Amino acid sequence: MLCFQLLNAQQRIVAECTVVYKVESIVDGAKVQDKALKTVYIKSNNARIDLVAPNYAQTTIFNKTKGVATILRSFGDDKYMTSLNANQWRRVNASLDSIQMQFNNDSISILDYTCKKAQLQLKDGSAITVYYTSTIIPSVREYEYMFKDIPGFVLGYEMIDNAGVKTVFKATQINLYNPVAASKFDIPTKGYRIIPEE
């Protein structure tokens, strides 16, 4: 019982934060390029992911209370918006419901957090290596559906595509103290072409 209480005392649910991840592509052990920048904003039951690359940008805004998401994509001057209700969000992510997870004792340090390692095996056979800290837990986990069952905050992960290119996401900044503007979660009302989910 004491051990359980100590574990809970060391964990903290984070209901407001900003985390910035550097995204790199690696081929045959050599860094190809800084591929993109990913920023995650969490405020209460809302989450937003901004992924910005040289040729495109994508934003996902997720509301945990309603289970709905809006995806905004920009390719140059072309902007597209897709809104997903709770059923559509689950359907889009259905292939991630049966992820097999294997946890081990390996760990690394990211931003002074000790991060444990987990291996995720997806239905399509691909694998993702995840590094997470169990000392903080996001108040919203479903915004990144493949990580919803990870028992902590994911601060790094690696995946390899069919061409053998490894993409590495690693947190470079985490801010648990400055408030996140509520306007980050506003859905645009103009400027985007609506693309319905099929």
Instruction: Note the pLDDT tens digit of each residue in 62-91.
Output: 999 999 999 999 999 999 999 999 999 999
DSSP letters for the chain: -HHHHHHHHH-EEESEEEEEEEEEEEETTEEEEEEEEEEEEEETTEEEEEEE-SS-EEEEEEETTTTEEEEEEEETTEEEEEEE-HHHHHHHTGGGTT-EEEEEEEEEEETTEEEEEEEEE-TTS-EEEEEEESSEEES--TTSGGGTT-SSEEEEEEEE-TTS-EEEEEEEEEESSSPPPGGGGPPPSSSSEE----
pLDDT (tens digit per residue) in 135-151: 999 999 999 999 999 99
Residues 170-181 have pLDDT tens digits of 999 999 999 999
pLDDT band at 126 (very low <50, low <70, confident <90, very high): confident
Q: What is the pTM of this model?
A: 0.90
pLDDT at 33: 66
Domains, the chain, with CATH or none: 2-189 (2.50.20.10)
Q: What is the pLDDT of residue 19?
A: 98
Average pLDDT rounded to a whole number, residues 157-176: 90
Average pLDDT, the chain: 90
- Judged against a pLDDT cut of 90, whether residue 124 lies above it is answered with no
Q: Which residue has the higher pLDDT, 86 or 32?
A: 86
